[in-house]
Amino acid sequence: MENFKIDVDADGIALITFDVPGRSMNTLTSGVMKEIPEWVERVKTDDAIKGVVLTSGKATGFCAGADLGDMAEGVFSGGGDLQAAYDAGWRLNAALRALETCGKPVAAAINGLALGGGLELTLACHHRVVADDSKVQLGLPEIKVGLFPGGGGTQRLPRLIGVQNALMQISEGKSWRPKDALAAGVVHQVVPAAEVVQTAKDWVKTGKGVQPWDEKSFKLPGGGPYHPAGSQVFIMGNAMLRKQSYGNYPAVLNMMKAVYEGVQLPMDAALRVETRYFIKTLMTPQARAMIRSLFLSKQELDKGALRPAKEPKSDPKKVTVLGAGMMGAGIAYVQAMAGIETVLIDQSQEAAEKGKAYAVGLIEKRVSRGQMTREKADATLALITPTTDYALVKGSDLVIEAVFESREIKADVTKKAEAQLEAGAVFGSNTSTLPITGLAEASVRPEDFIGIHFFSPVDKMMLVEIIMGEKTGQAALAKALDYVMKIKKTPIVVNDSRGFYTSRCFATYLTEGMAMLKEGYSPTLIDNVGRMTGMPRGPLEMHDDVALDLSYKIAKQTKLDLGDAYVPNPGEDIVAAMVEGGRYGRKNGKGFYDYPEQKGSPKTLWPGLAELAPTTQTEGFGEGPSAFDSVDGLKTRLLYRQAVEAARCWDEGVVDDPREADVGAILGWGFAPWSGGPISLIDGVGTKAFVETCDRLAETHGDRFKVPQFLRDMAAKGETFYGKFGGKKAAA
């Protein structure tokens, strides 16, 4: 076998080492899936083997789960053959069931992270020993890519820890740290890493090769669907999952069905139920789109698919950050965590020190949780130098400007920093809206001037939008991408435009919400419908988060720049009145909502909004079919308005790769993940149907829904974005 090595010791214990060649992390590739039944059969039939310890040969972890690339290729290329897909999915479940019923004790020595199918592999073992290392994670995150556990996870986990706990864990896709997994009952022992294998072997010598659920006396923890307590779990679980998913994710419903039906059956039948629902989910448009965008495309972008191949690799050692506000402070933190020497400059030493204090807070939290040693924390914080002295810029490989959105201020700091930079160093602006070509006019070397747009909070948001100015060179692009990959973010590359790609498209979600407000729709309805689309928040809530005064300032600056060509956004007058009245959004506790000072207290809708935007649209939202039709219409408006803007960005050359457009939308502003992104949304409904719906919306609501001509041409030919443009940059 290529992926597993079997060593049988003098006690008859077979140490099976999982080690996929040529990879830093084990995954369940098609080759691995083929070999698992082979070694399970040997374990069953070889009398010399008295017991088994399963471990990993990788220092980085046990197993990161299924190889979704292999899975997608194998299932999606089958032309929708359900029987062939079911047979492929059942092979793993059949093998793992054979392992746990082989009659010999089997222990998992988990020496690193075990996620998805990796954890499911260990759940089929009779005993689990895990390394006492805070970096180790154990979990079932499949729901995050539109799937649910299909290797026995929906059946074994409820039988281990109870239905309620299992449903919560699977539906949220969260991970346990070793000691938390022990407390939850998922693993049996937590020991020092060096002792994991020996501890597992010690257990095998006296252990029993029978799973709890195969014992005649087994009872489901907490009870099943017809138990008084268990029935409440399913009743409440349905409501909670509906609240979380709004019916957008087939995986959530199918997972619930698999658990509900499966826990009432013997394990063999339960696993077949799980496999059927898993394959049914895998073949949904939502799962296909999410796997493509959130796994395959993201993985390609993370590995540098957009990087100019001819440019030499660079490794930024020292990076200066100009501006120590929330954005600059966050950038300084992620740089230090990546081992980059960081100079953090602000107008006063106090402001610079405050910026570093942000990193101190985050790192101290990691230390308190055991995720970082004191020595490592001190060394990381020592990398950040807060200062007002531009002379310290000298020797930097890159400068990130993160000052206030003002051309004058940005031009001033650009000149000061560039005076200290050596040839070949790159200057990156973190602006979210101002065109890079215009900002580069303050630079003496525009070929090394580029946009590097982070998202707040920087430590949590994974996307970085790189913007090419008219004169930005390929060397600067390569260095910017090398930097983004070093700090472990996902990059997309776009061409210059006001608002670029992410800010421009995201703004349409906010402005469409404002248009609805102007039309007389209830603020509560608008935000509820926004969440129902799959967006993380309603448009008014999100407007508060972004800051109303920022929208106000951007509108004023844009009006100055465009003059008579400027077209006001719907509801701009409402935002202006609120800002001029001191309502800036969540940051000062006053926006569309009032935010109480007491932490944990709910926000409430601002009563004064009723005077600025009275609710007049009340028909069709009471009862009967028209209520649902109206809600669906508003959902369509919110999603299609963003997708239309993405298509316009494509038409104008701002983006030209569907992977970037979709991944950037989901990671950048939270565009409904179930859709796979705005480009996948258009492909999913069909370009013809999308154009026809947009034409109807344009007739009713105006030219903001008018689609570009190239999309009409695609619709006439029955073309899709991924069919016509997919992988274009990767092949270049």
Q: So where are the chain's domains?
A: 4-283, 318-496, 503-728
Q: Residue 150, CB half-sphere, CA atoms under 13 Å: how many?
A: 30
Residue 569: its pLDDT value, please?
87
Paired tokens of 679: 């480009």
Q: Quickly list DSSP for 600-648.
A: TPPPEE-TTHHHHS-----TTSSSSHHHHHHHHHHHHHHHHHHHHHHHH
Lowest mean pLDDT among 282-296, 394-408, 470-484, 620-634: 620-634
pLDDT for residue 75 is more than 60? no
Cα(425)–Cα(65) distance, integer angstroms = 40
Name the more confident of 79 and 118. Answer: 118
Is-contact 25 58, C-beta < 8 A?
Answer: yes
Average pLDDT over residues 261-277: 96
Paired tokens of 246: 């709004």
Lowest mean pLDDT among 86-95, 335-344, 531-540: 86-95
- Measured distance between the N- and C-terminal CA atoms of the chain, rounded to whole angstroms: 37
Using CA atoms, how far residue 366 sits from 114, 328, 361, 723, in Å, is: 21, 20, 9, 45
Using CA atoms, how far residue 17 sits from 7, 22, 27, 52, 152, in Å, is: 8, 15, 13, 11, 21
Residue 80: its pLDDT value, please?
61
Specify the pTM. 0.90
Q: Is 59 exposed, middle or buried (0-12, 13-18, 19+ CB in 10 A)?
A: exposed
CATH number of this structure's domain 503-728, picked from the four choices 3.40.50.2300, 2.30.110.10, 1.10.275.10, 1.10.1040.50:
1.10.1040.50
Q: Which of 126, 127, 188, 453 is catalytic?
A: 453
Cα(188)–Cα(490) distance, integer angstroms = 36
pLDDT for residue 69 is more than 50? yes
Is-contact 583 591, C-beta < 8 A?
Answer: yes
Confidence of residue 619 (pLDDT cuts 50, 70, 90): low
Confidence of residue 30 (pLDDT cuts 50, 70, 90): confident
Element (H, E) at 55: strand 51-56
Average pLDDT over residues 181-186: 96
Residue 167: its pLDDT value, please?
93
Crossing angle, helix 228-245 and helix 250-262, to 10 degrees? 170
Does residue 453 have an active-site annotation?
Answer: yes
Average pLDDT over residues 55-60: 91
Q: Under 8 Å CB-to-CB from 541, ≥6 apart: which residues?
A: 527, 530, 592, 593
Residue 134: its pLDDT value, please?
84
Confidence of residue 623 (pLDDT cuts 50, 70, 90): very low
Nearest CA among 569, 552, 539, 565 for reference residue 405? 552
* Helical segments of 442-534, H only: 474-486, 502-518, 523-532
Report, in this order, helix, strand and coil percent for the chain, each rounded to 5.
55, 10, 35
Q: Which residues of 370-392 are buried (b: 16+ CB within 10 A; e: fewer)?
A: eebeeeebeebeebbbbbeebeb
Confidence of residue 697 (pLDDT cuts 50, 70, 90): very high
Confidence of residue 518 (pLDDT cuts 50, 70, 90): very high
pLDDT for residue 629 is more than 60? no
Element (H, E) at 653: none
Structure letter (DSSP) for residue 387:
E
Q: Is 132 exposed, middle or buried (0-12, 13-18, 19+ CB in 10 A)?
A: middle
Q: What percent of the chain has pLDDT over 70?
A: 96
pLDDT for residue 83 is more than 90? no
Cα(666)–Cα(113) distance, integer angstroms = 26
Average pLDDT over residues 247-251: 92
Average pLDDT over residues 578-590: 94
Residue 73: its pLDDT value, please?
65
Paired tokens of 49: 């083997």
Confidence of residue 123 (pLDDT cuts 50, 70, 90): very high
Cα(223)–Cα(205) distance, integer angstroms = 33
Main-chain dihedrals φ then ψ at residue 18, nearest 5 degrees: -90, 115
Residue 557: its pLDDT value, please?
78
Residue 731: its pLDDT value, please?
32
Q: What is the CA radius of gyration of the chain?
A: 28
CATH class for the region spanning 4-283:
alpha beta
User: Measured over all CA atoms, what is the biggest interatomic distance in the chain, rounded to whole angstroms?
Assistant: 87
Q: Is 533 exposed, middle or buried (0-12, 13-18, 19+ CB in 10 A)?
A: buried
Cα(216)–Cα(200) distance, integer angstroms = 26
pLDDT for residue 719 is more than 60? yes
Task: Give the domain 318-496 fold.
Answer: Rossmann fold (3.40.50)
What are the pLDDT digits (tens) for 684-693?
A: 999 999 999 9
Residue 617: its pLDDT value, please?
82
Cα(44)–Cα(34) distance, integer angstroms = 17
Cα(19)–Cα(60) distance, integer angstroms = 11
Residue 566: its pLDDT value, please?
86
Strands 463-468 and 61-63: unpaired
Residue 394: its pLDDT value, please?
97
Name the more confident of 599 and 24. Answer: 24
Average pLDDT over residues 490-517: 94
Coil, strand or helix: which one is 386? strand
**Mean pLDDT value across the chain:** 92
Residue 39: its pLDDT value, please?
96
Name the more confident of 495 and 243. Answer: 495
pLDDT for residue 430 is more than 90? yes
pLDDT for residue 396 is more than 90? yes
What are the pLDDT digits (tens) for 667-685?
A: 999 999 999 999 999 999 9
Residue 321: its pLDDT value, please?
98
Q: Under 8 Å CB-to-CB from 525, ≥6 apart: which residues?
A: 621, 634
Residue 624: its pLDDT value, please?
44
pLDDT for residue 626 is more than 60? no
Main-chain dihedrals φ then ψ at residue 61, nearest 5 degrees: 165, 175
Nearest CA among 488, 16, 127, 89 for reference residue 271? 89
Positive or negative: CA dihedral 670, 675, 676, 678: negative
